[in-house]
């Protein structure tokens, strides 16, 4: 019995020992995995990681014979040091730089494409990227389409002043068209050295006028030239030079012109004269810009005049209303004064005289003088001129002026027998004409008759003594 218990106890001890032996490898295994995980984590943490952005670029439509470029960034998104290199297989693409390293900072790569010699059509390509992060080869993808494109036409010669002064701002304008209807930018060469000194800040529609303002800081002679560039980069030839001479002295603008003098009221359709004058501090010649409606826009320029000379100009208005007339002066170098004080004129609608009447003899004989009268009124109270048409191809011309309602009279002699139709028209002092009067028919049936008795006594009047004898007989 005791022997059995002993054996049983030994067996239990053996089993416990076996279990303990089996448990030790499990603990070691667990510890080993933990170490492996820890080692794996350490390796991951210490590895570089290539990151780049953007991953592609589409240049869109481009033209043959030009360079285009874009950029992308490469950097290390992990730890340690990332080294990278770029590769190409396309002759039309070139990256710069082609290799580098990063511990976290961004490296910028410029990718340029050269379309010289490329036919029209779509193109796709890439720049390959290799790095020491174990991620394999990656790609920066490129797309574009080569299109046929014509250069803009050569711009017109710059239009503007041919002289000026240091510090003075001068205005010049030009325009051109693009055969493809593309928008256009303009490049200005001030020194005739084929270098663009200034590009327009935006593109303009084909055919639109472009204006550039230039302030010269040094005296000299400047052959200004300009070229055009379309949205695809195609450029025109330079324009014909505009030679500008800049003096070393500053230019002062003219003084403000005097307030225009002239009529303060008038009628539509009638010319009214106004005058003004000014001087230029530098003695330069001056031209005058007339603004006939006060909107600040010059409606009419005069020619250049001597400083201090008077400027007179006429104008008419077609619509009744109140108008404000002002004048600005500009010297021969383009410097402008302020606008003058405004002259106010009130324009009314003008009515022509009413239809005139005509009266006088309706019969007579040729060779005798007959007097005819006419009268009418003008609703505006204007003075009136009369025109008599005698019906024989002759007329009185304009006669007057007469006051409204005043009778006008004119005489006429017809030299031939016949019937004639007389009529009268009138006009007012603003040249507004009335309609013709109703016609008056006049008949000249025969020439002047000879009366023996009447003509005998007229003969005796030539001989007073003989006349007394005959008078005594009767």
Q: Tell me, what's the pLDDT at 63? A: 86
Per-residue pLDDT tens over the stretch 350-394: 889 999 999 999 999 999 999 999 999 999 899 999 999 999 999
Query: If DSSP codes are grouped into helix, strand and coil, which group holds residue 391?
Result: coil
**Kind and range of the H or E run holding 50:** strand 50-53
Length of the chain in residues, anyone?
474
- State pLDDT tens for residues 392-408: 999 999 999 999 999 99
Looking at residue 112, its pLDDT comes to 97
By C-alpha distance, which of 265, 294, 290 is closest to 275?
A: 290
How do 67-76 and 242-247 pair as beta strands?
A: unpaired
pLDDT (tens digit per residue) in 160-196: 999 888 888 999 999 999 999 999 999 999 999 999 9
Count of C-beta atoms within a 10 Å radius of residue 283: 11
Angle at 325 between CA 301 and CA 280, to 5 degrees: 55
Q: Which of 90, 70, 237 is nearest to 152 (CA)?
A: 237
pLDDT digit string, tens, across residues 15-44: 545 545 444 433 333 333 333 444 444 444
Q: Please report, for the chain, how many H helices and E strands are present, in that order.
A: 3, 31
Q: How far apart are CA 82 and CA 471, in angstroms?
A: 155
Range scoring the smallest mean pLDDT among 400-404, 421-425, 460-464: 460-464
Fold designation for 163-247:
Immunoglobulin-like (2.60.40)
Please report how many Cα atoms fall inside a 13 Å half-sphere around the Cα of residue 136, on the Cβ side.
2
| CATH code of domain 261-347 | 2.60.40.10
Name the helix (H) or strand (E) containing 244. strand 242-247
Partnered with residue 111 across adjacent β-strands are 70, 95
CATH no., domain 357-444: 2.60.40.10
pTM: 0.38
Which token pair is 460? 């005796």
Nearest to 285 by CA among 303, 312, 299, 301: 303
Looking at domain 50-147, its CATH architecture is: Sandwich (2.60)
The number of beta carbons lying within 10 Å of the beta carbon of residue 301 is 12
């Amino acid at each position: 019995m005791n022997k059995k218990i002993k054996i049983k106890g030994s067996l239990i001890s053996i089993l416990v020992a076996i279990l303990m032996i089996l448990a030790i490898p499990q603990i070691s295994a667990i510890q080993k995995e933990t170490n492996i995980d820890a080692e794996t984590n350490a390796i991951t943490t210490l590895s570089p990681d290539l990151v780049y952005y953007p991953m592609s670029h589409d240049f869109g439509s481009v033209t043959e014979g030009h360079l285009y470029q874009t950029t992308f960034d490469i950097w290390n998104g992990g730890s340690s040091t990332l080294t990278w290199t770029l590769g190409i297989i396309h002759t039309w693409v070139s990256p710069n730089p082609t290799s580098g390293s990063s511990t976290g900072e961004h490296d910028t790569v410029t990718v340029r494409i050269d379309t010289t010699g490329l036919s029209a059509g779509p193109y796709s390509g890439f720049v390959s990227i290799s790095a020491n992060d174990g991620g394999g080869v990656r790609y920066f993808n490129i797309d574009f389409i080569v299109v046929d494109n014509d250069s803009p036409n050569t711009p017109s010669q710059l239009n503007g002043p041919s002289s000026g002064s240091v510090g003075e701002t001068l205005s010049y304008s030009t325009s051109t068209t693009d055969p493809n209807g593309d928008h256009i930018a303009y490049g200005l060469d001030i020194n005739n050295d084929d270098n663009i000194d200034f590009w327009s800040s935006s593109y303009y529609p084909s055919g639109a006028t472009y204006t550039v303002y230039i302030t010269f800081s040094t005296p000299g002679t400047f052959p200004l030239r300009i070229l055009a560039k379309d949205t695809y980069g195609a450029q025109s030839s330079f324009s014909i030079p505009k030679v500008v001479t800049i003096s070393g002295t500053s230019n002062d603008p003219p003084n403000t012109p005097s307030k225009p003098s002239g009529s303060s009221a008038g009628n539509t359709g009638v010319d009214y004269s106004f005058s003004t004058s000014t001087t230029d501090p530098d003695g330069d010649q001056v031209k005058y810009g007339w603004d006939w409606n006060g909107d600040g826009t010059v409606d009419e320029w005069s020619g250049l005049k001597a400083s201090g000379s008077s400027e007179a100009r006429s104008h008419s208005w077609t619509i009744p209303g109140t108008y404000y007339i002002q004048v600005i002066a500009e010297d021969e170098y383009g410097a402008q004064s302020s606008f003058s004080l405004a002259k106010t004129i009130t324009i009314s609608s003008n009515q022509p005289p009413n239809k005139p009447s005509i009266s006088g003899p309706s019969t007579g004989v040729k060779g005798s003088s007959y007097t005819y009268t006419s009268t009418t009124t003008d609703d505006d109270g204007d003075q009136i001129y009369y025109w008599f048409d005698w019906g024989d191809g002759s007329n009185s011309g304009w006669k007057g002026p007469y006051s409204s309602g005043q009778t006008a009279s004119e005489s006429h002699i017809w030299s031939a027998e016949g019937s004639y139709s007389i009529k009268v028209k009138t006009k007012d002092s603003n040249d507004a004409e009335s309609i013709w009067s109703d016609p008056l028919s006049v008949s000249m049936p025969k020439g002047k008759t000879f009366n023996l008795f009447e003509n005998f006594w007229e003969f005796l009047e030539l001989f007073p003594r003989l006349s007394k004898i005959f008078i005594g007989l009767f």
